[in-house]
Amino acid sequence: MKCPHCGGRNSRVIDTREAGDGIRRRRECKDCNQRFTTYERVALFSPMVVKRDGRREPFDRDKLMRGIQKACAKRPIAIEDIERLVSQVEHRVHSLGKAEVDSRVVGDMVMEGLRELDDVAYILFASVYIPLADLESMRQEVDRLMERR
């Protein structure tokens, strides 16, 4: 680990602690005695998402976040809940351990989570996400939700 101050290669760890999903280490350079911080994280294998038209794009946490935020825009849902859902989905997608994941699989994970959070956001997200052919099952889902009230 190179010292950011002098470029020296000798440092010692003076503190180690858990930081979110990683480990944070405080180090002290043996050459210049200055301190710096390093983070250690598990390298998550990020799969490609296969879209409905066959195009592939890397799994993008920010894009997922924007999509869910859009569906939740006018709903009384805390940003923390949305972030938790995004992290949950990201974690689940990564732990599939696959090189490619169907966008449908990702969407289903989001819908599952949204359904718990807010019925309307769930419907809004589904209406964008579900192909037209499946609108009949969508309608049944709406009926089911109405009955529950």
Please give the residue ranges that form the binding site for Zn ion (CB under 5 A): 3, 5-6, 8, 29, 31-32
Tokens standing for 74? Answer: 């006018």
Of 3 and 65, which has the nearer Cβ to Zn ion? 3
Of 31 and 102, which has the nearer Cβ to Zn ion? 31
Of 4 and 22, which has the nearer Cβ to Zn ion? 4
State in Å, rounded, how far the first CA of the chain is from the last one: 59
Of 6 and 128, which has the nearer Cβ to Zn ion? 6
Tokens standing for 78? Answer: 């805390």
CB of 23 to Zn ion, least distance (A): 21
CB of 36 to Zn ion, least distance (A): 8
Q: Which SS3 state, helix, strand or coil, does residue 42 take?
A: coil
CB of 40 to Zn ion, least distance (A): 20
**Cβ-based neighbours of 121, under 8 Å, separated by 6 or more:** 68, 71, 72, 75, 77, 114
Q: Which SS3 state, helix, strand or coil, does residue 43 take?
A: coil
The b-or-e profile of 12-21 (16+ CB within 10 A means b, else e) is eeeeeeeeee
CB of 58 to Zn ion, least distance (A): 36
